[in-house]
Amino acid sequence: MAADTRAKAVTLDLRRRLLSSSCRLFFPEDPVKIIRGQGQYLYDEQGREYLDCINNVAHVGHCHPTVVQAAHEQNLVLNTNSRYLHDNIVDYAQRLSETLPEQLSVFYFLNSGSEANDLALRLARQYTGHQDVVVLDHAYHGHLSSLIDISPYKFRNLGGQKEWVHVAPLPDTYRGPYREDHPNPAEAYANEVKHVISSAQQKGRKIAAFFAESLPSVSGQIIPPAGYFSQVAEHIRRAGGLFVADEIQVGFGRIGKHFWAFQLEGEDFVPDIVTMGKSIGNGHPVACMATTQAVSRAFEATGVEYFNTFGGNPVSCAVGLAVLDVLKTEQLQAHATNVGSFLLEHLTQQKAKHPIIGDVRGTGLFIGVDLIKDETLRTPATEEAEYLVSRLKENYILLSIDGPGRNILKFKPPMCFSVDNAQHVVAKLDDILTDMEEKVRSCETLRIKHPPGSTGPGCRAAAGNRPSRSRTG
C-alpha cells in the first residue's frame, strides 16, 4: 500500500520506463491513477470519486465484500491445482450447468477468456476434423496467437488474414449493408455467412467452427437481428462445423432478459460451445468453457490430457460461486433489465435532442451510442467521441469508445449501476453535447490535444464538425 502515496507523475514515469508502450492507458494525455474501488465507483490517489460506466470485469461491483470474503476464506485453507478431488470445482460446474441448456453439460476451467476461446478452437477442430473458421468482421476473441488469427480487429494491423480464416459481414443493422429498413436483415446477413462458407468450400476448405460474440462488443455494441444466429448455426452445421458463442463480455445476466446473451435467439437455440471469462470472477482470473458430451468425448479420444495449473483451483471456484450467489441474492439480472431500460430510454431522448447521436442500441446494461457527423452518410464522429469521453472524465465519469470508426460510446458498467447513476450520466452527457453545439457555431472542428476550454488555432478545440440531419456531403 506504500506505493499508493507515490506521486502520480512518478508512477507514470516508472510505467513509461518499465512497461511497453503497447500496454496502453485510458486517457493517455492525462491518465487517472486509481488506487481503490467500491461498487460502481473508482477512487484516485487524491480521493476523488469516479463513476465507472465501462468495467464489466467487476461484474457485481468492485471489491464486493461477499466475493472478497470467499477468496480470503478459501485462501486460508487451501489453494492447489485441480488434480486433487475438491468440492468447489464440482459445485461450481453444477451451478453453472443450471444456467445453461442441458446439452451443455461438460465444463473446462481456465484462467482467462482468451484461454477459453483457444480451447474452444482446439475442441472444434478435433471434433470436426476440419481446420477453418468463420468469424464476423471487426471481431475480437482474445490475445493468444491462435485468436489474433481469428480476430479481424487485430490481424488487419498485423500479419493479415490466414487462408483458413473466413470473414462474414458484421450483422449491423445501422451501418451494415442490410439496415433497419430491410424486410429480413437476419436472413440477409445469415445468407452472407452461407456465401462465405460456399466460397471456402469451392477452394477445398472445410469449416470447423463459426465464432461470434453473442452481442459483438469491440465491433460497436452490436445487437444482431433476431433469428440471425439460428440461421447461421444451420449453415455452419450443414458444413460440418460447430457454433461457438463467446459470452466473455456479455454473459452472466448483463443483458437483463436472460442469463446468457445467446438466449436472445430463443429457447431452441443451443450453441455447441460457450466460452466465458471476465465477469465470471469479478476481477479474479478465472474462465470457463462449456460444451456437449459428444464434443468433449472427441477431444478425450486423443488420449492427450488437458491440464491447466490454475484453472479450477479451489480459490477461483470459491470466487465463481460467490459471484453467482451475489447475482442471485441481489437480483442483479432483474436490476440490469430495469436500469438498462431506463438508461436506454433517456439516451434515446438525447438522440432526439442532439443530431450527433445517430443510434442508441442495447439490452440490459450493454448499451452503445453511435455518434455521427451526418445523418445520411452516418459518418463516424471519431474526434467528437474522443472529446466527449475526455470531457466526461473531467466530470468524474469513466466511459470508453469502440467500433470500427472509434465513435461508439460503450456502456458496460458493474451490475450495481443504479438509476441515479444513469440519470447523472445522461445529464452530464446532455450538458457537454449542448456546450459542443453552442461552440460549434464558431469552431470548425475539434482537436482534443488542446486543453479543454482553450480555443487553439481557429478555435478548433471546442466541439467538432456539427452533425447535420440533412447534409449529404
The answer to whether the Cα torsion of 170, 173, 176, 181 is positive or negative is positive
Q: What is the pLDDT of residue 453?
A: 44
Q: Where are the beta strands (DSSP E) in 262-418?
A: 273-276, 287-291, 357-363, 366-371, 397-398, 400-402, 408-411
Whole-angstrom distance, CA of residue 432 vs CA of residue 348 = 16
| The C-alpha cell that represents 221 in the structure block | 455494441
- What's CA 201's distance to the chain center, in Å? 31
Instruction: Give 180: exposed, middle or buried? Use CB within 10 Å, 0-12, 13-18, 19+.
Output: exposed
Q: What is the pLDDT of residue 454?
A: 42
Q: Is 250 in contact with 225 (CB distance < 8 Å)?
A: no
Of 281, 277, 297, the residue nearest 289 (C-alpha): 277
CATH 3.40.640.10 intervals, the chain: 65-329
CATH 3.90.1150.10 intervals, the chain: 2-60+332-459
Whole-angstrom distance, CA of residue 122 vs CA of residue 133 = 11
Q: What is the pLDDT of residue 35?
A: 96
Complete DSSP assignment for 382-407: HHHHHHHHHHHHHTTEE-EEETTTT-
| The C-alpha cell that represents 170 in the structure block | 458484421
Q: DSSP label at 213?
A: E
The answer to whether the Cα torsion of 325, 327, 330, 334 is positive or negative is negative
Q: What is the pLDDT of residue 160?
A: 86
Residue with cell 442469463: 259
Q: What is the pLDDT of residue 458?
A: 34
- Phi and psi for 42 in degrees, rounded to 5? -125, 150
| pLDDT averaged per 10 residues, the chain (length 473) | 75 94 90 97 97 96 98 97 95 98 98 97 98 96 92 86 96 96 98 98 98 96 97 98 97 97 96 96 96 97 92 97 98 98 98 97 98 95 96 97 96 98 98 89 48 40 45 32
What CATH homologous superfamily does 2-60+332-459 map to? Aspartate Aminotransferase, domain 1 (3.90.1150.10)
Per CATH, domain 65-329 is 3.40.640.10:
yes
Q: Is 186 in contact with 225 (CB distance < 8 Å)?
A: yes
Q: What is the pLDDT of residue 438?
A: 85
Q: What is the crossing angle of helices 113-128 and 293-300, to 10°?
A: 80
Q: Cβ of 78: how many Cβ atoms within 10 Å?
A: 13
Q: Is 132 in contact with 205 (CB distance < 8 Å)?
A: yes
Q: What is the pLDDT of residue 443?
A: 53
First-to-final CA distance of the chain: 55
Q: Which residues contact 43 (CB under 8 A, 6 or more apart)?
A: 34, 35, 36, 37, 49, 50
Q: DSSP label at 294?
A: H
Complete DSSP assignment for 426-445: HHHHHHHHHHHHHHTTS-S-
